[in-house]
Amino acid sequence: MLVAVLLAAVLLGGCSEDESAESAGQPSESVVTAPAAEIAEPPTENNPPEPIASAAPAHSAADGADAPYGLGMPALEPLPAPQPAEQEPPEQSPEVAPAASDEAEALPRLGIIIDDVGNSRSAGERIIALPAPVALAIMPFTRNAQALATLAAEAGKPVMLHLPMENLAGLAIGEGGLSTRMSRADFEAQLQASLNAFTPVQGVNNHMGSKLTADRERMDWLMTQLAARQLFFVDSRTTKETQAAFAAQAAGVPSVSRDVFLDNERTQVELDREFRLALERARKQGAAVLIGHPYPETLAFLERQLPGLEMREGVRLVSVQALLRQPH
């Protein structure tokens, strides 16, 4: 298990040059109170994962990310028997693990994060109710931030701070945001305020941030604070110039980068296309990180897709923490 986690983390980690730039921005939700969403790659872009020099040979398969996707089902590995081996004798040593469990551990893994949470309580509750460890990335100082963080933690779901950061388009980032214009003292004070806005916070990812995440010095300021709090970081990758993962590694912060945005387009066709892309990435890389937003269309899509996903697709839904690349 540990080996698998580390391998997947290595395969996923790092950051690259091939990310599409954050574009001009669009409203995050039809809900008027919602923050603007990060903008991701055009639907046609595949964002191949960045190769890592020291990665295991298996990664070579991941470099061919241009393969067509979304049309029909890729050939699947045989599915493991779903029955848990409840009957294992109590005297057995841990080394004699049930075969079904071993096979499940070897499945490609998908971690899902829903960003921009905190304004709508009902949307947050729908995320928490999803049959998977989907992370809530909660905006600081939103109306339902604390209530949803509490509910999510009680349900065993990952809770993250969705930290607003300055973007190249000059879009408003909301309360608690960080910008390149701040002095280090102001930057750190604002960061601490956002980290303290609700509890628990297990990790952080960036809301927007196409300008700030490209600033290595400020990413170093950020990661130093996250390291002190033993938090992890997920780079939403809103710019190909992002320095966040480098800074995280340097500061000793476990991190992983977003592979796919689920809902830049909210039609069924596009949601399905991006979801398929995420599954394909998970199969090629061993694991993938998918980020969505609390749009009604997205939530309804996940409510349909997640039940029974492992049986249908041979991809295991895991918490984002299970996909973190540990620092050297």
Binding residues vs Zn ion (CB under 5 A)? 38, 115-116, 207
Q: Residue 36 CB, nearest distance to Zn ion (Å)?
A: 8
159-165 vs 287-292, strand pairing mode? unpaired
Give the angle subtended at the CA of 33 by the CAs of 29 and 36, to the nearest 5°: 50
Nearer to Zn ion, 50 or 116 (CB): 116
- How many other CB atoms are there within 10 angstroms of residue 143's CB atom? 13
Nearer to Zn ion, 22 or 115 (CB): 115
Q: Residue 38 CB, nearest distance to Zn ion (Å)?
A: 5
- How many other CB atoms are there within 10 angstroms of residue 240's CB atom? 17
- How many other CB atoms are there within 10 angstroms of residue 17's CB atom? 8
Nearer to Zn ion, 142 or 285 (CB): 142
Q: Residue 157 CB, nearest distance to Zn ion (Å)?
A: 18
Single-letter amino acid code for the residue at 236: S
Nearer to Zn ion, 207 or 211 (CB): 207
- CA neighbor of 15 nearest in space, from 325, 224, 328: 325
DSSP helix, strand, coil percent of the chain (3-state; round to 5)? 35, 15, 50
**Which tokens hold the place of 327?**
């620092």
Distance CA 112, CA 320 (A): 7
Q: Which residue's CB atom is positioned nearest to Zn ion?
A: 207
Nearer to Zn ion, 164 or 254 (CB): 164
Give Dmax (Cα) for the chain. 62
Q: Residue 208 CB, nearest distance to Zn ion (Å)?
A: 6
- Considering Cα of 155, then 258, then 219, then 3, what sign does the dihedral take? positive
Q: Residue 207 CB, nearest distance to Zn ion (Å)?
A: 3
- CA neighbor of 70 nearest in space, from 286, 236, 316, 260: 260
Q: Residue 206 CB, nearest distance to Zn ion (Å)?
A: 8
Nearer to Zn ion, 165 or 309 (CB): 165
Nearer to Zn ion, 237 or 283 (CB): 237
Q: Residue 134 CB, nearest distance to Zn ion (Å)?
A: 15
Nearer to Zn ion, 255 or 285 (CB): 255
Q: What is the dihedral of CA 302, 305, 307, 311, to 10 degrees?
A: -150
Q: DSSP letter string over 163-224?
A: EEE--TT-----TT-B-TTS-HHHHHHHHHHHHTSSS---EEEEEE-TTGGG-HHHHHHHHH
Q: Residue 49 CB, nearest distance to Zn ion (Å)?
A: 22
Cis bond leading into 200, ω under 30°? yes
